[in-house]
Amino acid sequence: MGRWEPGEGAKRGNVNIRNTLRVRGSRLTMPETTAAQAVIPVRIPRFKLPRTAANPAFPPGPRPRYPGQFLVEIARNPLAPFIVMAREYGDIAHYRVGPQHLYFINHPDLIRDVLVTNQKNFRKSRGLERAKRLLGNGLLTSEGEFHLRQRRLAQPAFHRERIAGYGDTMIEYANRAHSRWHDGETLDVHAEMMRLTLGIVSKTLFDADVDAEAAEIGEALTTAFESFNFAMLPLTEYLDNLPIPAVRRFKAARARLDSTIYRLIDERRRSGEDRGDLLSMLLLATDTEGDGGRMDDTQLRDEALTIFLAGHETTANALTWTWYLLSQHPEVEALMHAEIDSALPGRNPRYDDLSSLPYTRMVLAESMRLYPPAWAIGRRAIGAFQMRGFTVPARSVLLMSQYIVHRDSRFFPDPERFDPGRWTPESQAGRPKFSYFPFGGGTRFCIGEQFAWMEGVLLIAALARNWRMTLVPGHPVELKPIITLRPKHGMRMTLERRAVR
């Protein structure tokens, strides 16, 4: 297994940096470099680490050094216990929090067994059960036949032809960002990417311009997300109706998001317009394979908010980590700029240009390997089943971490190194499918995966065509694993305007 300190993946010393390199026969001059700034390593908790389980019916796993330690560590940093279990126990580990059996699984074959082969034996685990307090019964949280019905209703909005039509909107909002940026300006790139992707998802989803509300919506989203680790703790559902500060803040944030979404739904219903956007499609969608019904306002709210958050938060995080990695690896940045300059001579990208930007897509893929926006997945077993010779009891929770598996040296040699070359077709063909799963898997894979790939590549190309971003010296870069993997302190970077070619 590889080492797990996240900072190693960002160290420029892991890549051979040359002063010049050749790309497609042209000689490129490398940009000036600054001192590398690694991500602050995750604080590793100390557990008891028995090599064998007290009960041979279970795999070995960590044990707490004091009562409640697992809860303390999860509240402090939920990623840290996974790092310990991967390092000490490999593919499968077992531990308990009170009466709850939990299994951490860390091999593509085991992950495939849960997400694909035996998916009918699993439901969403506590994390997404608790996410219902924000998302309601949307695609991310619903189960069974209702989930299948909702997915059928939403699916047409993500057909290839419809997604292609969103490309112009993405570039329009990238141009807005470009027009408000200034050479030499220092800004929080994470906040900028949040604003950018919020504008895009609002326009494509609601045909609405929410720039005037962006700050309030962003603050509400942050508050709602930051309540998640607290909500994951046992028995916190019994606190949801108490007037404690954390609950009051969450409810105010949810109400702020609801006010915008319900207003837009109401306006569209009153107008009766089909504007060709996702909201129109959801309003008009009929379940032709089921009961022939349409969504009511509550269902619309749940689906719209789910897609709103998924299309806004995850893409913004992926882009932020990409800009950070590019700032630490100028040789990769130079190769990507060469591709963009060649494919887009003097113009912005279009949907049809995606096939001409393979290296840019490889950069995004490698960024999501090291810093996957969704960093963990959980499932709850409906019935008992077999795994590696052990019987996993019914109602056990199985946890899988993209962050951990993506850094496994069995599938990604020198796993902490940022290397877009891992994503050539030949390299991908040599790895098991679930060694990389940033969008989940099985029938519950992310419905917006193709939307996300298109948005990510187009925005990187549109912005990198005009700008370089350099991390502010001394700015702390630290992981903040909540529902998604955010940078804890934002990402302060200085803009440098490129000469458009």
Q: Which residues of 112-135 are buried (b: 16+ CB within 10 A; e: fewer)?
A: bbbbeebbebbbbbbbbbbbebbb
pLDDT on residue 286: 60
Supply the pLDDT for residue 16.
Answer: 32
Residues 458/459/461/467 CA torsion (nearest 10 deg): 170
Q: How many distinct structural domains can be found in the chain?
A: 1
The CA distances from residue 389 to 245, 247, 386, in Å, are 46, 43, 6
Is 12 contained in some domain? Answer: yes
Domain that holds residue 366: 6-41+107-497
What are the helix (H) ranges across 207-296?
Answer: 214-226, 228-231, 245-271, 278-284
**Residue 76 · residue 68 · CB < 8 Å:** no
Phi, psi (degrees; rounded to nearest 5) at 495: -85, 140
Q: Are strands 479-481 and 390-392 parallel, antiparallel or unpaired?
A: unpaired
In this predicted structure, what is the pLDDT of residue 241? 75
DSSP character for 446?
-
Within a domain: residue 95? Answer: no
| Predicted pLDDT of residue 22 | 37
Distance separating alpha carbons of residues 371 and 375, to the nearest angstrom: 8
Domain-embedded: residue 94? no
Residue 56 lies in a domain: no
Quote the radius of gyration of the chain (alpha carbons, Å): 23
In a domain, 455, yes or no: yes
- Model pLDDT, residue 28: 47
- Looking at residue 128, its amino acid is L
Full pLDDT tens readout for the chain, 501 residues: 333 333 333 333 333 323 323 333 344 444 554 567 899 999 999 999 999 998 999 999 999 999 999 989 988 899 999 999 999 999 999 999 988 999 999 999 999 999 999 999 999 877 777 788 888 988 888 888 888 888 887 887 788 888 888 899 999 999 999 999 999 999 999 999 999 999 998 888 788 888 888 888 888 888 887 777 666 666 666 677 778 888 889 899 999 999 989 998 888 888 888 887 778 878 876 655 556 667 788 888 998 888 888 778 999 999 999 999 999 999 999 999 999 999 999 999 999 999 999 999 999 999 999 999 999 999 999 999 999 999 999 999 999 999 999 999 999 999 999 999 999 999 999 999 999 999 999 888 888 899 999 999 999 999 999 999 999 999 999 999 988 999 999 999 999 999 876
Q: Is residue 485 part of a domain?
A: yes
**Domain of residue 191, CATH code:** 1.10.630.10
Indicate whether 436 belongs to any domain: yes
Among 327, 349, 329, residue whose Cα is nearest residue 339? 349
64 in a domain, yes or no? no
